[in-house]
Structure 1
Amino acid sequence: MRSIQERNPVPIALVGLVIVIALGLVAYRADDLPVLGGGTTYTAHFSEAAGLTTGSEVRVAGVKVGKVTDVELDRTRVRVSFRVKDTWIGDSSGAAIAIKTLLGDKYLAISPLGAAAQNPDLTIPLNRTRAPYDVTQAFQDLGATVGRLDTVKIAQSLEAIATTFKDTSPEVRHALDGLSALSRTISSRDDRLKRLLLGSDRLTGTIADQNDQFETLLKDGNLLLEELNLRRQAIHRLLTATRALARELIGFVDDTWIRLEPTLNALDRVTTVLEKNQKHLDKALSVVGPYYRLVGNTLGNGRWTDAYLCGLTPNEYLEPGSYPENGCMPPKVGGRS
C-alpha cells in the first residue's frame, strides 16, 4: 500500500472537497435532520400570508418553540408549514399571524387547545386561523392608488355633471355646485396630496430600512427592564431580610427583658449611690493618691523595704553633734542616702 505522499494529490483534494461540502450542507440543514433537528411539522391554511416568511418565529404564549419552514400558495389560500419541538398542539388549536415589532415583522402565534393531539397530516383549517390587518401595507396601497388617479379628469367629469343638472331643482344645483367646488379643491391640492403620500411612502421605507436598529433598541430596552426587575427583586429580598431581623431582635429583647430588668434596676441604684457620694469619692481618691505614691516609693527598690528609725536612743546618751539637727526628719527627702 502506497503512502499519501506517493499518491496523486488531485483525487485526494477532490474527495476532501466533496467531504467538506457535504459536512457544510449537513451543518446548514441540521434543523431538518430527523435526529439532530427533531420536532414535529404541522400545516395551516390562511387567507393571506400577511408578511409571514420562511424562518419566522413560532410562539406559544409568547415563548419561541419553533419556526416557519415554508409559505406557499394553495389555490386561493396560503399554506404555512411550521415545525415545533417539545410542544403540545391540540386538535382545536388556533394559529394567528401576529405583529412582532412596530415595523411590521410577523410571527406565528399558536393557541394549544383541544383534548387530543393534532394530527400532523391534517391541515389546520381557515376557521381556526387568523391573519392581521397590515396598516403599513394599506397606506402604501392607498398612496399608489391615489397616485394613479387623474384628478384633472375627475374635476372635468364633476363639472360636466354640474352643467348637466344646472336646470334641476335648487337643492340639486346647490349639491352639484358643492360637488364641483370639492372637485376644484381636490384638483388644486393634487400636488400637495402627492407630496404628502410620497413623503409617507419614504417614511415607511426609511422605517423599514432601520428595522434592525429599532429591533436592537427594543431588545436593549427589554434587557434594561429585566435588569431593573432583578434589582427590584434584590431590594425586595433585602427588605424582607431586614424585617425578619427586626422581628428576631424584638423577640430577643422580649425573651431577655425579664433577666435584664433586675440587673438594669440594680445598676441604676448603684449609679444613684455613686452620684450622691461623688464628693466623698473625690476626697478619698485625692487622699489615696499620695499614700499609694509613698508606698510605691517604699517598695520600689526591689525585694526589701526602705525604713528610717529615729528617736530610739535619747540624745543625752549620744555624743554631741551625732544626733540629727532637724529632729527625726530623714537627712534626705525620700529615704537614706
Structure 2
Amino acid sequence: MVSARTKRQLLVFVFISLVGVSYVGARYARLDTLVWDTSYQVDARFAESGGIFTGAEVTYRGVKVGQVSDMTLTRDGVTVELSIDKGEKRIPANTVALVGNKSAVGEQYVELDPKTDDGPYLKDGSVIATADTRVPISTTEFLTNTDRLVDSVPQGSLRTVVDELGTAFAGTGQDLGRIIDTSNEFIQAADQNFDVTTALIRESNTVLRTQSDKGSAIRSFARDLALFSGTLADSDASLRTLIDNGSATANELRAFLERNQVDLGGLLNNLVTTGQVVVKHLDGIRQILVLYPYEVASGYTVTARTGDHYNARFGFIFNPDPVVCHAGYDPRERRSPTDGTNKRMDEDARCTESARKSNARGAQNAPRPGTGTTVASYDLGSDALTWGDDPGARVVYDGGADQLYGDDAWSSLLLAPAG
C-alpha cells in the first residue's frame, strides 16, 4: 500500500522531470518550434558548404542568434537556411556570412559579420548573395599547401638557419625570460589602456587628414630640403675647410674678445643710445634709403660719360639784384686776408640797410622756414614711391653708373668714401 506521502513525492518528482525535459527540449532540441515559430528565415548562398551542417549555430558579433535549419543543394552551390530569432531584428542586411570553426576539432558555425551598423536590416525572406559569403579553406587544401611550403625550403639552408639560431640564443635564457616577462607587462599595460588606444586610432584620422591637406606644403618642404642637401653636398670642400680651420678662428675670436672686452662693453653700451636714436628716426631713415638711390642716379646723370670723357651737365644762374649790403660795416675794421692774428670779434657789426635796398644780411632778415618743391615722397604704409607734380624735378637715369662700374655699381656707394 503506497502511502499518501509517497504519492506526493512521486507527483513532485514527475512534475520536476516534465519541467526539466520541457526546458531541455525547448532550449537545446528546439522542440518549441513544433508548437509555435519564434524565428524568421534568411537564405545564405554559399559556393560550397565548407563543412556546415543542419543544427549549427548562427552568431552575430559572437552572440548566438539562431541556427541552421536546412541545407539545399543548388546548381551554383549550397543554399543554407538560417533560422534567426525574431528578437534579433537589427542585423544589417549588408552582412557577410562566414563559415568558421569554433575549435580545433572542427565544429563549424555561421558568423554574420556586418559591413555597416545602419539599416536596412535582415527580415524574413532576405537573401545573402554568394559574393557576401565565405567558407574556410578545406583541410585537404591546407595540408597540400603546407606540404608544398615545407618541400620548397632547402634542407641545407634550413639546417644552417637552425644552427645559427642555436648559436645566437645559446646562454641567453635569462635574457629571453626577461623579455617574455616584460612583454607580458607590456600586454597588460596595453590591455588596461585599450580604450585610450582605440580613441587614439579613431582620432588619428584627423591628424592624417591634416597631413593630406598639407600634402603640397610637405612636398615643397621635401623639395627645398633636397635643394638644401644638394647645396651642402656641393659645398662639401668648403665646409670641411671651415670645420678644419674653425677651431683656430674661434681661438682668435676668443682672444680678440678677451683683449677688448672692456672696450667692447663700452661700445655696446654706447650703441644702446645710438639704437634708441635710430629707432626714433626709423621712418625717416627708411625714406632716405628709398630715395637715396635716385639721388645717386642724378649724380651720374650730371656727369654722364661719353667715350673716355665725362660731360658735366649743369648750369649756374647769377643774380646781382639786389646788391650786397655794405651799410653797418666799418671799412676800417676790415682785416687783410694775410692777417692771421687773434682779434676780438665786433659783435655790433650788422647790416643796417633796409631789405628792399640790398641783399640784407643778419639773423633778423633770415627767411622763415617754408615748404619747398617736393621732388618725391615715400609712403611707409604702402611702400609706394610718389613723384612730385613738377615733371622737371624727376631724375632721368641714363645708365652712367652701369657703364662706369658694371654690374657692381652699387658697391661704389660703400667703397668710394674709403678712397
Q: Which has the higher contact order (CA 8 A, sep 6+)?
A: 1
Q: Same fold per TM (> 0.5)?
A: no
The TM-score normalised by the length of structure 2 is 0.27
The TM-score normalised by the length of structure 1 is 0.32
